[in-house]
Structure 1
């Protein structure tokens, strides 16, 4: 098969928002398709109507768009293999159900939920695990144990499901691109339901029919589907179809490696697991995603790509086009990978663009009616850029270049509220006043204050006066940037605050 004919699909269920594992599956499918000039398809697998959640579909589409990994075909994009909703393909599935029944690969089962539960309790009581399989199916209420006349009457009067008939006694050999050869003993497989009592096909049947009819060449999905792989391969065989290539992705684990990240444990996590915000339909509670917390799509996708895949080079920062160029299924890890939120924010820092930070800061000072030359603004960004991980943090780390601090660090301020501090500030202020404005540079200021007594204490007082807290860039650069007059004004302001306190 030519790799130029690659067709892959991302097939989420509309049962809520995508989490990190789901969107990573979409990303890997997208990267693989683009690497080989193939087609990336979006299909909605909505046969489980009981778990349907409003707004899930629009969330999926918006997430893919934000991540810049939009499909070439499928829901919202059109294509030659519509409909791309499983719920609208019932007649197609029924046709193949009938084929499986005719060929003896499937059978009708009339056992009620109560019947099954009773059997399960019986088995549990005797220390066994109940499984609807080749060992016991002939003792249950299904078409394999009935005459044609009995079956006809049952079909007219009772609800039923259709089950796949597993042939025992085979060591089924399968191949996974990531994990290699997998062998399963069919004696231990149960007869899965293919058609539910509500008339909807199950995921197992619908997905293999859709994959075949939509000419899917590679099925790239999470490792939670490995136990279902044998059933899917057997279904392909029963329908006389060649199965696609399979690749099962490793789990994304919590940072401590204990358990996978999932929507079920979101309340116990102190970091986001959704790409974009999700509004819970019933409560209207909004759960923020990476987008709302300030991550760029480029950084998010870069982080996600390396969460289970190794490009084979030391480089870690990639554009989307570079990820496409480097990507291969063979370099995906077999085992679970731990998620690290600190690493995620580091990726965002590395993807920050000075132009975007400039635009944000420019808008910030405009809303405050602060007049500022663009050259000055660029200098501020160059001085503070390495201190931030997110664009919205720039104001916190640069406000003192534009406005006087509105408060002082409480603990340090209370320690310096005495006459001696006022004397020290007054002497330092006098030194600044005596410097020619043309010589008011960081180098000159540094040289001048190196000769003063209590140099370290004076620098702390200056920082408190100019910034309000004991952090920030080199204090002499701040003095030069804001200028002589503003520096003196802020020192006087601190002196007055101390005087009021004492």
Structure 2
């Protein structure tokens, strides 16, 4: 493959936000382009105006930006093949549909929806499926069964669609980079609509023309387009063009086994399916995405890349540049892949960056007007980083290094509210006060020998942290220092006395 020949496109429809499947398609196109020194194009396939949803286009652009996979050319970026929105290219499609009509590869069809519904019912009654194809088209209301004059009159008075004329009895060979060789019998294909009655080109016609004119070399898209690929290849041939290489990606399936991930099942899932938040235009309801839930873009991209592709290395944690270097379409799985939110969380944990956590924690203590040394902050992060999956979780796991607990775990606190606890804490306080070397090592040795060691440790934890959770209590004592630790124990004693 020559270094600068690869041209790929990500071509979403603006019918709402991108979900995980669409985002992975964009990512694979991007990785493939960059691997081969090629061009990644963003085209917006907006011919279906009925399904158009406002803000979809800006959402797509913002999502690609957040994931650091920005296009080289296309909508929002310009380029030599403008316009990159299909709704601005109707005149181009009209020109090529006329060529297909002239060459006899397409024909006008005047059947109304009612006519076709009637036919479907007739077929259903015989237990058959109606298909507008070579076996039946000569018995239907189209230009193939009319004289030129009849056609001329019809075109002036009736609405119509333009269909592709499939030649029966052919064995069509096609190759898919992921799935290998496929043979299609053209007897099983129907005459798909290329131009709708409102004069708008369908996906089949528009994307074929655009891919050719934009010099697309590889079409990498979801497997739902596999059944239509034979028609697309026939369209290329009818127009005298060489088809691009095709690669159809496996579906992303729900972990519970209930079908593929899609926008329709957003509400029934216990994990996000959008990269960034989406505001539903009609209701203004906000559905959070991975960005808002605290996932790092590099972790999200790493997770998504390995959802159906095996890089062939032992490591799973890979930077965008490493993903580019390793990427290959041949290593993509054929079968559907299961999405697992636990795995996504694991990727995020592995991508956590101490510098970013430092900035976040620094802001948190600044908000509370707490001052502390950089070394202390770094030490706190080092002690607590293994306990978190997201940057925003750092405060709940480290607050006790900076501030007194604002309350105490109720169940345990109520259990210990008696005089005996007070004397235990008073004795422990004296031991701490008399220590010369206030380090975790010396503290551990000292309390190793005390009676009720376990209970004392729990009381210390309650006094210092407020809950029976957190890192090693002796390390907390050392970090807070003698004075602060004793003050927190005194506060707990006071609270117990108040309760008694």
Q: Deviations over 1:449-476 (max 9, x none)?
A: 0000011111111111111111111100
1:4 aligned residue: 4
Single out whichever of 7-16 and 415-424 deviates more from structure 2. 415-424
2:27 aligned residue: 27
Runs of 4+ in structure 1 deviating by more than 6 angstroms, as ranges, are none
Single out whichever of 101-110 and 406-415 deviates more from structure 2. 406-415
1:447 aligned residue: 445
> For residues 49 and 16 of structure 2, what CA distance do their matches in structure 1 show?
12
Corresponding position: 1:91 with 2:91? yes
Corresponding position: 1:112 with 2:112? yes
What is the total number of aligned residue pairs between the two structures?
Answer: 500
Gaps of 5+ in 2: none
2:474 aligned residue: 476
Single out whichever of 304-313 and 486-495 deviates more from structure 2. 486-495
> For residues 95 and 450 of structure 1, what CA distance do their matches in structure 2 show?
88
Q: Deviations over 1:172-208 (max 9, x none)?
A: 1110000001111111111100000111100000001
> For residues 120 and 280 of structure 2, what CA distance do their matches in structure 1 show?
36
1:342 aligned residue: 342
Q: CA deviation at 1:116?
A: 1.1
Q: CA deviation at 1:231?
A: 0.6
1:282 aligned residue: 282
* Correspondence 1:311-350 to 2 at 5 A: 311-350=311-350
Q: Deviations over 1:398-450 (max 9, x none)?
A: 000000111111222222222222221121112111113xx111111110000
1:360 aligned residue: 360
Single out whichever of 5-14 and 420-429 deviates more from structure 2. 420-429
> For residues 335 and 159 of structure 2, what CA distance do their matches in structure 1 show?
43
1:281 aligns to what SS in structure 2? coil
1:457 aligned residue: 455
1:488 aligned residue: 486
Corresponding position: 1:47 with 2:44? no
Q: Deviations over 1:197-247 (max 9, x none)?
A: 111100000001000000000000000100111110111111111100000
Q: Deviations over 1:15-72 (max 9, x none)?
A: 0000000010000000000000000000000000000000000000000000000000
Corresponding position: 1:130 with 2:130? yes
When normalised by structure 1's length, the TM-score is 0.98
2:251 aligned residue: 251
> For residues 112 and 11 of structure 1, what CA distance do their matches in structure 2 show?
31
1:145 aligned residue: 145
Single out whichever of 244-253 and 108-117 deviates more from structure 2. 108-117
1:68 aligned residue: 68
2:224 aligned residue: 224
2:164 aligned residue: 164
Q: Deviations over 1:269-292 (max 9, x none)?
A: 010000000000000000000000
> For residues 290 and 338 of structure 1, what CA distance do their matches in structure 2 show?
18
Q: CA deviation at 1:500?
A: 2.0
2:369 aligned residue: 369
> For residues 280 and 481 of structure 1, what CA distance do their matches in structure 2 show?
48
* Correspondence 1:73-84 to 2 at 5 A: 73-84=73-84
1:208 aligned residue: 208
Q: CA deviation at 1:3?
A: 4.7
2:177 aligned residue: 177
> For residues 407 and 127 of structure 1, what CA distance do their matches in structure 2 show?
71
CA-atom RMSD, angstroms? 0.9
> For residues 125 and 496 of structure 1, what CA distance do their matches in structure 2 show?
85
2:273 aligned residue: 273
> For residues 179 and 68 of structure 2, what CA distance do their matches in structure 1 show?
29
Q: Deviations over 1:353-392 (max 9, x none)?
A: 1011000000100010001111111111111111111110
1:13 aligned residue: 13
When normalised by structure 2's length, the TM-score is 0.99
> For residues 315 and 445 of structure 1, what CA distance do their matches in structure 2 show?
40
> For residues 403 and 220 of structure 1, what CA distance do their matches in structure 2 show?
53
2:444 aligns to what SS in structure 1? helix
Gaps of 5+ in 1: none
1:172 aligns to what SS in structure 2? strand
Single out whichever of 490-499 and 150-159 deviates more from structure 2. 490-499
